[in-house]
Amino acid sequence: MTQTAPPDAAPPGATRRALLCPGCGGQCMFDPAERGLTCQSCGRVQDLAHEDDDDAHIEYGYDPTQPEEEPATRPAELEHHCATCDGRVIFTGPQLSENCPYCAGAVVLSQPVNGYDTMALIPFSTQEKTAQINAQAWAKSRLAAPGDLSKSVAPARVAGLYAPFWTFDSKEAVSYWAKYTTGSGDNKRTHSVSGAMNIHFDDLLVPASPHVTPLIRDGILHEFNPDKLRRYRAGYLAGFAAERHHMTISEGLRSNRKDKDLLIRNRIKGDINRSRVHSIRYRTDTSGIHYRRILLPVWLMHYTYRDKPYKIVVSGINGRTYGERPFSSWKLAGYSALLSAAVIGFGLVWGAAGWR
């Protein structure tokens, strides 16, 4: 489903009203277990599903030859500025944090910066307790990790964040030129090859912020399913942090160039269907660009081991866990010695048996 114009921004005050319980007027927070907005006073749960959720799949057309007309807006929520990583996050609802979810640095209230409205999101499905358990289990299961690593991870807490992403569609008419090598030594030959192919990229997921590191991206990338997208509502963000979209569409496309270049080169290698392909050059005519501005849920855990910071990422969609960790030099040396002994032992057995 495609559309040319993004939806209108929510009217001022709509966010605050959306987070109040219709029964008692109490403050509400989104509960991943209930999959709804839960009142902190009376416990009433509001289902945020709506008949227009199918609109979350709408993709908006973009013509790079025309001026960008998407209007920038100023958020109604409180925006916080991190003095450590320069990130700007919004805390929606009653549960404010004193630390940046990206880097755990201190944050202070700041003047909101103009951004762009979110079109859709995937709500949190993984609860905070589950994320905490998964992060600690991940740390305990790491091979060659220091024996006391779990003691550093145990007291750390996770922070829930909706991180900004793009989805991009495009059609690529590719003409390419490349070389491949056959044989070796005196029989080594280099061959030239050329060809043309059409590629359709559908829902390429692209980080929409420099603070969405490769670790955060990888922690959510494999779990993305556009069928899970829901139309943006402030209630989904209640109790969580979120970063707004600040990139223009053209900036988002530029940030995707490196990844798209790699994908095109891999498709070319597949089209040539030869080993040892190199010296690839190509030209592409891009058309049919469509985009979405979306938010995706992640839990971030920051911990310190011997004064060095590390991060663990838990997907807010299904709990899959990735992370950074230290290594034990003693364990690495032990594993290396065992591997060397195994190789030597195999060689001795091979030689004694006279196998050829």
- Predicted confidence at residue 179, as pLDDT, reads 96
298: nearest Cα among 235, 343, 352, 243: 243
- Give pLDDT tens digits for 25-79: 888 889 999 888 888 889 899 888 888 888 888 999 999 888 888 888 877 667 8
- The span from the CA of 41 to the CA of 109, in Å, is 27
| Statement: residue 4 has pLDDT above 70 | no
> What pTM did the predictor assign?
0.84
For residue 10, what pLDDT band results from cuts at 50, 70 and 90? very low
126: nearest Cα among 311, 298, 324, 296: 298
Instruction: Report the SS3 class of residue 332.
Output: helix
Average pLDDT over residues 299-306: 91
Average pLDDT over residues 136-154: 84
Strand partners, 197: 174
Mean pLDDT of all residues belonging to the chain: 85
Q: State the virtual CA torsion across 70, 75, 79, 83 in degrees, nearest 10.
A: 20
- Predicted confidence at residue 12, as pLDDT, reads 39
Strands 28-31 and 36-39: antiparallel
- Tell me the longest C-alpha to C-alpha distance in the chain: 85
Instruction: Report the SS3 class of residue 289.
Output: strand
Among 4-18, 174-188, 240-254, 272-286, name the one with the lowest average pLDDT.
4-18
| Statement: residue 11 has pLDDT above 50 | no
- Predicted confidence at residue 85, as pLDDT, reads 84
3-state secondary structure 13-37: CHHHHHCECCCCCCEEEEECCCCEE
Higher-confidence position of 174 and 310: 174
- Residue 349 one-letter amino acid: V
- Residue 187 one-letter amino acid: N
> For residue 94, how far is the Cα from the chain centroid?
26
Among 10-14, 142-146, 180-184, 186-190, name the one with the lowest average pLDDT.
10-14
225-229's contacts with Cβ under 8 Å and 24+ in sequence apart are: 225/122, 226/57, 226/167, 227/57, 228/122, 228/317, 229/56, 229/57, 229/120, 229/121, 229/122, 229/292, 229/294
- The span from the CA of 308 to the CA of 162, in Å, is 26
Share of the chain above pLDDT 70, in %: 84
Contact 178, 279 (CB under 8 A): yes
Strand stretches in 24-97, DSSP E: 28-31, 36-39, 45-47, 59-61, 79-82, 88-91
- Predicted confidence at residue 15, as pLDDT, reads 58
Q: State the virtual CA torsion across 122, 125, 126, 128 in degrees, nearest 10.
A: 90
- The span from the CA of 190 to the CA of 183, in Å, is 9
The tokens describing 305, both together, are 């081991």
Share of the chain above pLDDT 90, in %: 43
Average pLDDT over residues 316-322: 92
